[in-house]
Every structure is written in C-alpha cells, then in structure tokens.
Structure 1
Amino acid sequence: MSLASAWYRNARWLKLLRPLSMLVEQVARKRFTKRFVTSAENQLPVPVIIVGNISVGGTGKTPLTIALIELLRRHGWTPGVISRGYGANPAHYPYSVTSSSTANEGGDEPCLIVQRTGVPLYIDPNRVAAARQLLQHHACDVLISDDGLQHYALPRTIEIAVLDGTRGLGNGRCLPEGPLREPPERLQQVDLVVVNGELSPATRQQLTELGLLWYQMKLEAGKLYPLAGGDAVTADVWPHERHVDAVAGIGNPARFFHTLRELGFDPVEHPLADHASLSEETLGFASGLPLIMTEKDAVKCSQFNLANGWALRVDARLDAHIEQTLLTRLTSESAQPTGHNDGSETA
C-alpha cells in the first residue's frame, strides 16, 4: 500500500508517524498565526486571489484558475497569474511563461494556463517577486496566484481552497501521517471552500463537522484535440476504436480514467505521478491503440511524434455563488478596474 493510498484508507500503521505529523501541524499553526504580518516591501497595488489547497496532490486548482480568468475578463477585469512553477527549470527567475515556453522551462500547469487563456503569467518560488515583475510589464488590475495558500509572504485579498470531493481531507492528519499541509480548521479562515465534483459521505461529514459552507464546481469534458494537429472532435464522433491507452500524470489519475469511461471509452490505465516527466519512449505502448491524455500531460509532448495521440480538454463549471462572492469582494476591496463594466460586454 502506497503512502497516499494509506492516507485515504486511514491505515492503522500511520499512527507511527504521528510525532512528525504533530511537528508539521505545530509549525503550520505558527506560520498561520503570523500570516497578517506583511512587510511593507511585500505589499502589492492590486487585489490578489489565492487558489490553493491544504492537501497534497491535485484537487482541480488549474481548471478553477482558468475559469476565474475567463470570469474576471467577462466583468471587465484584466487578470494576471503568478505561480511557483513546480517542476520548471527556467534560465532565470522571475520567468515569463509564454505560449512558446516549454513545460521544462515554465512548468506544465503554467504552460497549460497560458496556452488556454493567453494570460500574462510569471513564475518564481518567491511569488511577490513574480507579482512585481508581472505588474511592471503588464497593465493588470487583479492577480491570481495558482497555488500559494501557504506562501504567507504573499498578501491576499481572497483565499479560495479547493478540495477533491471524493478524497476530501483523507484521514484529517498533517504530513506525513496524512495528506494535509495545514490542519483542517485552516479551511475555516478562507473566503471560499470549493469542492471539485460530488462529495463522498466522508467528505461531507468532515466539512459539516468543521461548520463550513462549501460550493461545488464540476469538471466537464470537452473536445479531444489531436496532438499532431488537426480538428478537434467530441467523444460521440470519436473516429477510432473505443479501446484506448490512457495516460494521466495528475494528482488523482483515477478521476481522469473515470471521465473517459463516462464518455464511452474503454481505457487501459497508465497512471503516473503528478507532474511526471514524459518521453516518446514511455508513451510508445506496444498495444498500438489510440492514446488519450490530460491537457496537463499534453503540454509536455509538443515536440513528440504522436500521430495517434489526443488530449481531452476539461472545463470547470462554477456554482453561481462562487462568482457572486468573488466579484462582490473584489469590488468592495479595491477601486473599480480600468474598463470595468457590468458584465454585459466581454473584455
């Protein structure tokens, strides 16, 4: 049994790790207590929206970030995005991720966000440095931090915590006994708790015991895009056999494979670690079947010769309350953005 599997099965042997877990929890509580002590040099002239989580692994932050970019633009804002750029190896920091950046340079998730939206995006482990560099070169009036909930040097106007509806908080323990970076009550301090997908009974109980209100987002499968170029297709007119190889290097590969089955595919599952490196050799499966992968994996394959490779696009659909709360808070916390309108026009 892997450590991650043990977290969500609440394996008894995890109690052996409790002393380390209690130390992590103590440090997390101390850092959170000091979170409002932001030095003058770290202040930023625009509001900052944090999209993060308190658990390790994927919860759906990147699809939510993309949806927020589109939402803000519809209402007249000009967003920029900052990110740590996990797994990136740029020539320097801060680094501007563009549509021509490779995943090795900019990180898979930042590259995906830029390719989907064209938003100005800078990466740097120091998010404040990334923010200042972005604002120096782009006239943005709001920033979204893709991850960074625990990066307390970064000031924030709105905190959004994303949870996987199935996995929830696991056994509710901090690392390494459990999957949490901070104790569960940290969720009581954020502005919005967004649950990705349907809630399992265990997740619902966890959130209820914390006294939390939560709002849902759903990831909806879109078109399939050929990696070699050409027209995208919907699953109902898929031109090949339904038995496919499926690759997912994300935090919860099982969710991707489940989506494919819901679309009528019969996937041979190839789960990979989150942010896993890919090569033509590792994707050269002997089956000769069509290959479908996540968008995040596809950005790492732009130079590969995958004639029968496809990427499945996924879009986040947000609860209306999420949009209302976000826009109301932004309007009350800052001056009206340049070009702000009532939403009747698209920026």
Structure 2
Amino acid sequence: MRKLGCAVIAIVALLGLAGGGWFAAGWYGSSQVSEDTQFVVSSGSSLTSVARALEAEGHIASADAFLLRAKILGGGDPVQAGEFMLPAGVSPARILETFQKGDVIRRFVTIPEGMPSILVHERLMAEPLLTGEIPVPEEGSVLPDTYDFERGEERTKVLARMQVAMRNFLAEAWPKRQQDIAVSSPEEAVILAAIVEKETGISSERQRVAGLYSNRVKKNMLLQADPTIIYPITKGKPLGRRIRQSEIAAVNDYNTYTMTGLPKGPITNPGRASIEAVLNPAKTSSLYMVADGKGGHVFADSLEEHNANVDRWFALRRERGEM
C-alpha cells in the first residue's frame, strides 16, 4: 500500500508539473501572431477588452486563457493607450509587457519654416492617421518643426502642441533680444520675422536682411516686401505668376508698398532662425536689396547704389531670357 501511495503521489506530482508546464508554455511560448503586426490599444481600454480584441484579430487562441495567465504570471501594471508593434511569434507574456511598458509607435508630421497657416491646416487635415477637424490656425502661431503623434490622435491636440511650442520659444527668446531693436513686442517680432522668412532662404544673410528691414522700420520707410503683396491674395500660397501693377498699388493692411510700418499680422509662420534674426539683427546701414541671381541678395546703403544693382539684375534676367 505504501508503494501504491507513493506511486499515486508521484503520478499526481508529474501531472501537476505537466499541467504547470503547459500553463507556463501557453504564456511564455509563441502566440498566434504570424507576422509583425501593428496593434492599437484605444484610450480607456481595460486588459479584458484588449484580450478580447487580440482574440478577435486571431493573435491569441483564447482571451479567457490570456487573462487567467496574465493574472497569475503577468505584471499588475495597467495597459497603455497607443499603437504598438507585435513581432511575429511574440509570446503572450511579451504582448502584455509591451502594452504595459513598451514604446508607443510615434508618427511624425513636419511643418517647414515659412509654411503659411492655410497650408499647415491642409497638411494636418491630409494626415489620415489623425482624427477630428481643426480651423485654419492663426497666422504666425505655429512654430515650424517636426512633431510626433500617435495613430488616432486628435488634430486639435497636435496643433495645440505646435502653438504651445511657438509661445514657449518666444517666451525664451524675447528676453535675450538686443536693446533698441525695431519691434516692441513678441507679436511684432513674429510679424517682421515672417517677412524675413519669406525674403531669404540663405541662412548666412538672414541677420542682414533682418537688419535692413529693422532700419526701414525705424526710419518709417516703406518696407516694400513683395510677399506682403501676395499674402492678401493667396493667404500665403504661391501666386503662380508675376505680381501685377494693380496689386503693387493695392491699399490694404498687409501691402508694405502702400503703407509704412509693419503689416497688421504675420504673413507666414516664421522659424526660430528668422525670429532670432529679428531679435538680434546685424548692425548694418543697408536699406535696400535686390536678388543677385544666385539665390541671395546684393545690399545697398543708398538708392543710387541700389538702382545700379537693380540694373545689373535686370540685365542678368534679360540674358537668361526671363524678361
């Protein structure tokens, strides 16, 4: 009898070990994820709802078995909301750990320097992984940069981060400005920086361009910046043709050919470098500039010198067949 009892105990122990091994294998072994798969955990999801979704999509055999093993063998941390990558053959244990502590897949949207708000709106609305509607943001309120977002995130939240970034940058940059600059507030700095942004894409001359326009503001001269003619017509989109004389002569709150001082608002979303150039402009006596034919500008202190530079620019354009 003693031998029989020992045998029974041994058999029970073996069965227990086998059952435990089976139970553990179902947790630490491979799942039914057949290929690398992106899986979204919605905001507010419970582990139970996530397990049901995993079963429905065929990634695990049983939600109930997953939940039982998670309760006994898994960690107690809540699941995160977001999009996650599940590698092929990943174990249920690793799936839970990924949802609890893993990295959420981040997506990116880039707003380049000088992109007007109407195009910022179009870019965000065209991103299929974002949700919800947004209005066209206030011009000059968005800081150009690359921003990350999660699948299914609301466009309002992404836009809000872009606008907070601009406010934070201005709050940091404004106290570091030079004394006696041409603008008297962060808002005016953005307005002038938007003109600088549109007038040059050459980083080496940005501060000089800012210095030139600062000089003209201080002297109460017409700024005569072509992009300010275009903005009321297209809201910052490319004009696609030459500017007409009637448009140069148009009187409105933006056209700096018919008004002195700054426009009533920005004509685009300027980047950090253009804002910093306005806050720390080059010490220059330049009041005029014209294209040099190589992507930059030729600067002049006097109208006579400027007219000579313009004549050379027109001659170059005639040689190129552009006039």
Under TM normalisation by the shorter chain, which class is it? under 0.3
**Bigger relative contact order (CA 8 A; separation at least 6):** 1
TM-score (norm: length of structure 1): 0.21
Larger strand percent: 1
For the pair shown, which has the larger CA radius of gyration, 1 or 2?
2
Larger helix percent: 2
